[in-house]
Structure formats: C-alpha cells, structure tokens
A and B are shown apart, each in its own frame.
Chain A
Amino acid sequence: MASTPKTPICLCDLAVGATARFHAADLDPEFSRFLRSVGLTQTSELRLCRNGDPCIVQVRATRIGMSKAVAGQVYVVPTSGT
C-alpha cells in the first residue's frame, strides 16, 4: 500500500531536530528567491535547528536564519521527527 503524502505544515510547527521538505512560501518574491538561491528548494531536505525568533534551519551544509515573521510563512512537508 502506497504511503499517503503528509500534509504541509508551517515551519514554526515543526519540532526541533525534525527534518522536512520545503513545500511553499507565502512570501514576497524577493524572499522566495533568496530562500531558493541558498538551497531551500522543493527537492532539498531541511532540518530545524532552532525554533522561535530567529528560526534556524539547515539545508545540507547551509544554515539559514530567518525571523519568526518569515518562518511563519514557510510551509514544509515533514519527513521525520514531527
């Protein structure tokens, strides 16, 4: 039986240490472009290192800090540890 794809959740709702795939961002195009350019693409897995303000995620070897206002608009699909 094929597993059902998980529902996207807000990045802020992910548990610290959990991994997820980037789904979408309800952000100004400038921020969306920046996030993609630092590697936050739909094919990349991220890990939540710190929740709060700032929220810190790691995509491969890149650590990205984002204010709570930005993290609240980023949606991810959990892959482990929710």
Chain B
Amino acid sequence: MLGEALADTVLSARARSRPARVALIGNPNTGKTTTFNRLCGSRAKTSNFPGTTTSTRLGRAELTSSRAVEVLDLPGVYELHIEAPESLIARAVLEGDGAFRRPDAAIVVVDACNLTRNLVLVGELLHYDVPLVVGLNMVDLAQRRGLTVDVNVLSRRLGVPVVPMIARRAEGVDALRMALLRALDFPRAKRPADLPAGTSSPEALTAWADELLTEAAGASAPNGSGPDSFTEGLDRAFTNPILGLVTFFAVMGGLFWALFTLATLPMDLIEATFAYFGQLAVTYLPAGPLRDLLTDGIISGIAGTIVFLPQICLLFFFISLLEDTGYLARAAFVMDRVLHRFGLPGQAFVPLLTSHACALPGIMSARLIPNRRDRLATIMVAPFMSCSARLPVYVLLTSLLFAGQPGWAGLAFACCYLLGGAAALLSALLFGRTVLKGGARPMVLELPTYKMPSFTNALVTARDQGIAFLRTAGTVIMAICIVMWWLSAYPRVDTPESVRTLRAEADQPELSVGRVAELRARADTLEARAVQAGSFAGRIGRTIQPAFEPLGYDWQLTVGVLTSFLAREVFVSTMSVFVGGAADAEVNVGVIDRIRTMRRDDGRLVFTPATAASTLVFFVLAMQCLPTLAVTHKETGALKYPILQLLYMSGLAYVSALIVYQSLRAMGWS
C-alpha cells in the first residue's frame, strides 16, 4: 500500500514537471475530433506535422485538478502498416521518430457500430507497447441497431481499459480521463496471447477482431452486412444522376446563399473598423511617411484581406457540418462524373465553388481532397474562377465595352465567368498531361453513417481555419501590402505647379465653402496622379509598357495592370486616379464616363473596344493576386507551385489578350 502510494507520489511529481503526451488515434469518422474537443475544450494549437502539409492539433486536457496531459490529435487512419501519409505520420509518432516525442499513452477511439474494422487498428496498436485506452464511441447508435458490447469482456480480452462513450453528448468522457490517468501511472505491457503477430495480414487481424466481437457482443454481434433501409434510401437519392444533381445544387445554393448573407454584416463591420483606424491615424499622426505607411500601406492592405475572414470562417463552419452529416462523401461522387473528365476529383467542387467568392478560402478548402496529385490540380486551377475582387473590374470594362447596351454588357459579364470556369477545367486537363502526370484518381471512399452534425466541432474548425488565415494575413500578406504600397507611393515627386496654384486659389478668403472643397479635392487628385506617375510602379509601367503594346495598352493601362497585383480591384482606383477621380472611387457612372474619355499621350482614347476586350480577357485569366500565391505556397508546401501558377496564368492571360486585341484590331474595332 505504502509502496503504491510512494510510486504514485513519485510519478505524479514527474508528471508535474513535464506533462505526459497522449496520442489520440482512430479510424476516420469515429468521433475522434469530437473526443479531442471534449478532452481539451477549445484550447488547442493547430500546426502542420514537420515536413508535411497534414495538419494536427495539440491540446491540453485536465485529468484531475492537479494533473494535465498534452493530447496530440493524429489524422484518421484505417491501418498503421500501409504507406498512406496518415499512416506514416501515426507510425512516426508512435515510434518517437525524428521530430516526434514518443507518446506516454494513446487513446484509440473506436466506432461501436463498426467494431471489427476498428479492432484491427487496436490490434496493430497493441504491438507498439504504448499504454492504451480504448474509447468505445457511439454506443447509443450501436444499441439502437441491436448491438450490445460487454466492455468488461472486451477489456479483458484486449488487456487494456475499454470505456463506453457518447462523445457527442460528452457521456463517458470523465471515465475516459480516469482510465487514462490509471494507464499513465500503472502501465500494463501485456499483449493478448492470441493477438496475431505484428507482421500478420489484415485477414488474420480481421479474423481475430471477429472472434473478439463475437465474444464481447454475443448473440447481438452483427452477422454479415444486412441492409439498412434508411441509409440505402438516402444513398439512392443522393447518388442518383438526376436527383443527386438537383440535391447537390440545392444544398450548395443554400450554403452559398447563407455564406454571403451571413458574412455581409461582419464584413461591413471589419471595413468600418479599419476605416475608423485609418481615420484615427490621420487625425493623431503628423503627415509624413509613417502616417502614409500606416494608413495607405498597412491598414488598407490588411483590411482588403481580412475582410474575407467572415467568409472563410463561415465556409469552414458549413463544410464541417456537411462533412459530419455524411452528405459530402455522397456529393463528391455526383460531381466526380463531371470533374473526372478534366482530371479533377469529385471533391474539387467545394474549392472551385468557394473560389467564386475568394480564391484564398477556396485553396484552403482543397484540404478536403485526400490525394496530393488531385489536391495540387485543384489548387493550381482554383484562381481561374471569377472571384468577387474581379467584379468591379468586370463592371468597369463591360460598361466601357458596351456603353448604353446593358444587355450586351450583362452577356459579356456572364461570359467572363464561363471563360474562367472553362480555363480552369481545360488547364486541369493540361496539367494532368504535363506537370501533374495522370488523370484524377478514380474515386474510392468510405461512405460514413448519416448522423447529426456537431456544432462544437464546426465552431472549432471555423476558428482554427480563421486563425490559420490570420497568421498568413498578418505575416506574408502584410509584407506584400507594404512592398506594393511603397512601389506605388515612392519616390516622392515635387508637388506640380498646377496643384500649388489650385491650393493657393482655395486659400482665397472670399470663396464659398463648397468652392474651397472642390478646389482642394481637385488639387488632391492631381497630386495623387502625379505621385502615381512618378512612383516606382509608374516608372516600371513606363519601362515595361512596350511589352504590353501588342495588347493595346499604353503606360497608364500598364500601371493599372501592375498595381492590381496587390488586389485586382485596385485597377479601378488606379484608373480613376489617372482621370482625376478620387483614389477610393467606386464603380459608378461618373467614374466610368471619366475613364471612357481617358487619353493616351498622343491624344487617342485609352479604351477602344479592342483594348477594353483585351484587358477584360487579361483580368479573367491572369494571376494578379499576391495573397493567393502566398496561400498556394503554404498549402502545397513548395515554392514551385505558386511560381508555376503565376507564370502559367499570366502567360495564358497575355496570349489570350493578345489574340483578342489583334483580332478585333484586324476587324477595325481599335
């Protein structure tokens, strides 16, 4: 007794000095993430496994008031001894290889409704000699199906504690904590005598698991694979070629409607908050480079990116809910029939649809795609989809192209979306025949049981993805914003004589308040135009303009294209500055009319039908979004993919715009 108490004290003291590490493992769709959230609450850090793009979460679970452990959530695995990336990571963690610290214990979450397959993984884990606790999850569902498992028999046969749980309702989680505490303090290392050897085939392990189940579940053990009319009925509907498509478009339509509707208010709030910060900086900081950097570089640049945060969080919230219900796996098969022809997997529909809002969440949601080749193909073509940042540019250019013909302008607008979608599909086909060898993998997926989704899991997923996005926005994207601002604001040019004259006129005491405001506004915009023209971006625009000459662009249009690499919508404000409008101009009739009358240095119009069409095609196809390239780099884990994306998309845009301009010019529309 005394010895045991002493051992307990020593072990507890050791545990206090360094928290024990516990690996959380299990088959996919067993409620592992729910169990993690129940154990650790919302205090978890998400990061990638070293050297991989597979993400993991590390949390802290309180076992008692004075004892906490680190819990490492491993990716879902079916088997340990296959060469799948998830299995390689799980093996490396269990063996304490390289960057990984060997866990002091492991919790394996098993699905009570699907015990044989789950026990195969338990059998493999028993060979690692890590103290093990089995969390027998979804016992309520199993009982509803007439399966009752005697946990004492199962525990005795496995030689490890087995805890019945309903993780969704937090039932059994306290018992799991206690079982883990005992497993850590009094580890047992005795394997079951009849456990097949570590090198055994899946067939031998399956036979062993079957025997265990028969013993633990007795007469209630499932015999064969009987039909479940509820699941079969839903599967028939959701995978039907017609009904499945109708359901898919209804679900996705609902999702995106909810996404855009619910995101509007927080997006407006973010914009208003950053505008307020900008105003504060203008009010309290003296005019100069620091104020300009803060307001025009950092605040406006970050605001332009962070404004998409609500869409990203909501998207992942809805995707997590859909994934939990089991529907997403069925939807993937419906879309696979269409997308597979172009070398994309069925799961690519989520990233491609999402990219219509913004390519950043679109590329991030490609994590749903398990195969790396298929994931890369999707990431590479997702930015072709027309994102919301292209909208103001489309409005401007289609209005210039079809002045006073709203019907034709609307048709051209729709054609931009079609052109982007067609470019994405055909490019995926091309990538499959060149850099990403082979077509999309034929689809094989486990179709998980239909169940009620977990709102807690969805909230945690949304929060984690939001934090991951903010990390990128706060580092790489902020650096890009500062560099682009600097290029378009420096070197400072002397105030033009015309601006000084206007300001002097505005200082005349006899003028009305309205006249003074008008003169000052004109002076400000003229000065902004001079700054733009004399900046590095302006000079680069003039220098590289000959390269854009075949597309019909003068130096002003070239600068507009260059500055829109910060964000596409910047094009409208750049053009507006050139015609003496405000830098924060929105697309309205006044701005469009002024831009329509823009002149080149030789007096000809900048926007003829040929140049407007050429610019429109360029904007549909070009990769003009540096934040997207940063996210592509992060998600692919290699620099070559964003470089290829930039060169390929911009090259395709250049060639297409060239063909359009030269064809229209040959037809006399220049």
Contact = CB atoms under 8 A, between A and B. Distances in A.
Contacts of A46: 225
Q: Which bucket holds chain B's interface residue count? A: 35 or more
B114 interface: yes
A48 B329 CA distance: 18
B444 A17 contact: no
Contact of B443 (A30, A35, A45, A66): A66
A41 B333 contact: no
B340 interface: yes
Interface string B198-213: 0001110011000000
**Most chain B CB inside 10 Å of its own CB: which residue of A19, A31, A37, A41:** A37
Contacts of A42: 203
Nearest to A72: B442
B235 A60 contact: no
Contacts of A45: 224-225
B444 A41 contact: no
A36 B117 CA distance: 10
Contacts of B207: 43
Nearest to A44: B206
A3 to B, nearest CB: 19
Nearest to A56: B235
A65 B444 contact: yes
A37 B84 CA distance: 11
B257 to A, nearest CB: 28
Interface in B528-559: none
Contacts of A33: 82-84
Contacts of B224: 19, 45, 47, 60
Contacts of B236: 50
Contacts of A62: 114, 117, 446
A66 B333 CA distance: 8
A26 interface: no
A39 B445 contact: no
Nearest to B28: A38
Contacts of A44: 206
A31 B443 contact: no
B116 interface: yes
A59 interface: yes
Given A36-B202, A49-B235, A56 B443 contact: no
A49 B232 contact: yes
Contacts of A43: 203, 206-207
A35 B120 CA distance: 14
A30 to B, nearest CB: 8
Q: DSSP class of A's interface residues: helix, strand, loop or mixed?
A: mixed
A70 B443 contact: yes
B55 interface: no
Contacts of B222: 60-61
B603 interface: no
Contact of A38 (B111, B231, B446): B446
Interface residues of A, number: 35
Given A33-B84, A37-B79, A39-B117, A65 B202 contact: no
Nearest to A59: B225
A81 to B, nearest CB: 12
Given A54-B443, A60-B116, A70-B443, A38 B225 contact: no
A53 interface: yes
Contacts of A58: 225, 227
B28 to A, nearest CB: 10
B446 A60 contact: no
Nearest to B82: A33
Contacts of B225: 19, 45-47, 58-61
B195 to A, nearest CB: 17
Given A33-B83, A67-B336, A67-B340, A41 B442 contact: no
B476 to A, nearest CB: 34
Contacts of A36: 79, 202
B563 interface: no
Interface string A10-41: 00000001010000000000110111111101
Interface string B107-132: 00001011011001000000000000
A9 interface: no
A53 B206 CA distance: 29
B375 to A, nearest CB: 15
In order of increasing CB-CB distance, the 6 nearest A-B pairs are A37-B78, A61-B114, A69-B442, A63-B447, A58-B225, A37-B79
Interface of A: 17, 19, 30-31, 33-39, 41-47, 49-50, 53-54, 56, 58-67, 69-70
29 contacts: A19-B225, A31-B441, A37-B79, A37-B84, A39-B116, A39-B117, A47-B226, A47-B227, A50-B232, A53-B333, A56-B235, A56-B447, A59-B225, A60-B224, A61-B113, A61-B114, A61-B225, A61-B449, A62-B446, A64-B445, A64-B446, A64-B447, A65-B329, A65-B444, A65-B445, A66-B445, A67-B340, A67-B443, A67-B444
Given A31-B444, A53-B333, A61-B222, 5 more contacts: A33-B84, A34-B82, A47-B224, A47-B226, A66-B442
